[in-house]
Amino acid sequence: MTGVAALVLAVILVLASVLIVLVFQRSVGAAADDLSRTRALDVAAALEAGSLTPVLTDVGDDSVAQVVGSGDRVLAASANLGDSGPITGLAPEGGGPEAYDLEDVRDDDETEDFRVWAVTARGPAGPAVVYVGHSTEATGETVASLVGALALGLPLVLLAATGLLWMLIGRTLRPVEEAHARQRAFVADAAHELQSPLAAYRTTLEVGLEGGGSTDWPDTARLLLADGTRMEQLVRDLLYLARQDEGPALHRLVDLDDVVLEEARRLRSSARVEIDTSGVSAAPVHGSSGDLGRLVRNLLANADRHATTRVTVSLGADADAGTVRLVVADDGPGVPPDQRDRVFDRFFRGDEARAHDDGSTGLGLAIVRSVAEQHAGTATLEAGGPGAVFVVELPSA
């Protein structure tokens, strides 16, 4: 992608440079023409006024001037022409001014090509032709200097622009590439996670069929129902995360304390341990009540799953920081230090959860982090507690 962009940029810069050179060449030539024509008219005016001097001095650098009278007699000339004869025998029709391109015109000790403007005038000695011109070689050298500067600067500009493009394109495509990488990993992990319950599902059926009349089909059905329930929950979590990846839901003013208390009330009917919500206070936020409910529900379910006797929930607003802080802590075994950075990864389940097959899909905390980030907040696991301490911070309303 960067190579194609650099190639396109190089073509654009080359075309732009060619255009600049052409415009500059035309501009320099036109300016030199205007100056020579004006000086020719000035010399003609001096001739007609009778104030012409034999040596014409006010003609500028890289220029020639000459006044030729009847009989090809040189009446006046610039110093660089010396005592040479007429530089041309051409005379403008209608008095001029008219331009001529002359070759091998004397310029001190060498000869150059000149573009000369001619105009007729009448002086005290009769009619004469005034010639004033500029060196086309000098004009060409000016244009060549620009070409050299562009030839030197263009690669540097292209190199700098390519580097800038590389950074900009990389910065633009990096999120897309990261999203594709996450998607590929997500699909691979999902296939792996679904493989286990599907394999157990199939094994249960095969064992039941091989058992013939001795198979306890009600018990088999209960096993299949458990596996099916787990797969159903896994698919639901996958679909929910997919919707989260598509963007945030419509945000409204939400009393997060009401959401927390309602989710705690629901969990108490089936909780293994005590759920303490005495530290919950008012905390309004802007967000989706459904998504925030899912966040709280997952945190409480995770804490209940690992707690020994108690889950403590606190919620409050920090007016100075402009945030609300939700803390869900349990008195369980906690999370090993080497696993703390991974607890919010999709499909991650700690060694203890895997050993006891707690039935979790490994997506609960990933959903917590996703919802928090969709609400411009953060979800972290704090160290130092006897158990696990999960903290969610969101902007306050």
Q: Residue 197: which region, alpha, beta or left (left: phi > 0; alpha: psi -120 to 50)?
A: alpha
12 and 128 belong to one structural domain: yes
Asked if the structure places residue 102 within a domain, the reply is yes
**Neighbouring residues of 241: CB distance < 8 A, sequence distance ≥ 6:** 186, 346, 363, 366, 367, 370
Asked if the structure places residue 312 within a domain, the reply is yes
Instruction: Determine if the peptide bond prior to 97 is cis (ω within 30°).
Output: yes
Per the document, the length of the chain is 397
Of the listed ranges 124-133, 211-220, 315-324, 348-357, the least confidently predicted one is 348-357
Residue 1's pLDDT is 57
* pLDDT above 90 (res 274): yes
- The CATH number of residue 120's host domain is 3.30.450
137 and 262 belong to one structural domain: no
- The CATH number of residue 345's host domain is 3.30.565.10
Residue 165's pLDDT is 74
Q: Which carries the bigger pLDDT value, residue 149 or residue 316?
A: 316
Q: How far is the C-alpha of 217 from the C-alpha of 214, rounded, in Å? A: 9
| Start-to-end CA span in the chain (Å) | 43
Task: State percent of the chain over pLDDT 70.
Answer: 92
Asked if the structure places residue 179 within a domain, the reply is no
Residue finishing a domain among 119, 142, 165: 142
Q: Which carries the bigger pLDDT value, residue 360 or residue 393?
A: 393
Residue 166's pLDDT is 75
Residue finishing a domain among 142, 176, 198: 142
* pLDDT above 60 (res 33): yes
Banded model confidence at residue 365, pLDDT cuts 50, 70, 90: very high
Which structure tokens are listed for 106?
């004397």
Residue 278's pLDDT is 94
Residue 355's pLDDT is 40
Asked if the structure places residue 98 within a domain, the reply is yes
Identify the domain containing residue 388 by its residue range: 249-395
- Other C-beta atoms within 10 Å of 15: how many? 10
Asked if the structure places residue 30 within a domain, the reply is yes
Average pLDDT estimate for 257-279 = 92
**Average pLDDT over the chain, rounded to whole?**
83
Asked if the structure places residue 181 within a domain, the reply is no
- Other C-beta atoms within 10 Å of 310: how many? 15
Beta bridge partners of 253: 286
> What H or E segment, with its residue span, contains residue 87?
none
Q: How far is the C-alpha of 211 from the C-alpha of 186, rounded, in Å? A: 38
258 and 138 belong to one structural domain: no
What would the pLDDT profile of 371-387 be if each residue is shown by its tens digit? Answer: 999 999 999 998 766 78
Banded model confidence at residue 190, pLDDT cuts 50, 70, 90: confident
Asked if the structure places residue 69 within a domain, the reply is yes
Confirm if 116 and 39 have CB atoms less than 8 A apart: no
14 and 129 belong to one structural domain: yes
Residue 248's pLDDT is 61
Asked if the structure places residue 195 within a domain, the reply is no
What would the pLDDT profile of 225-240 be if each residue is shown by its tens digit? Answer: 877 877 787 788 777 7
Q: How far is the C-alpha of 251 from the C-alpha of 393, rounded, in Å? A: 17
**Neighbouring residues of 240: CB distance < 8 A, sequence distance ≥ 6:** 294, 367
Residue finishing a domain among 91, 119, 142: 142
What would the pLDDT profile of 306-354 be if each residue is shown by its tens digit? Answer: 999 999 999 999 988 899 999 999 999 888 888 888 889 887 776 554 4
274 and 391 belong to one structural domain: yes
Candidate ranges 80-84, 198-202, 261-265; pick with highest mean pLDDT = 261-265
Against a cut of 0.75, is the pTM above it? no
Q: Looking at the 3D structure of the chain, how many domains does it have? A: 2
Q: Which carries the bigger pLDDT value, residue 199 or residue 182?
A: 199
Residue 359's pLDDT is 56
Banded model confidence at residue 93, pLDDT cuts 50, 70, 90: confident
* Helix pair 136-211, 217-246: axis angle to 10 deg: 170
11 and 130 belong to one structural domain: yes
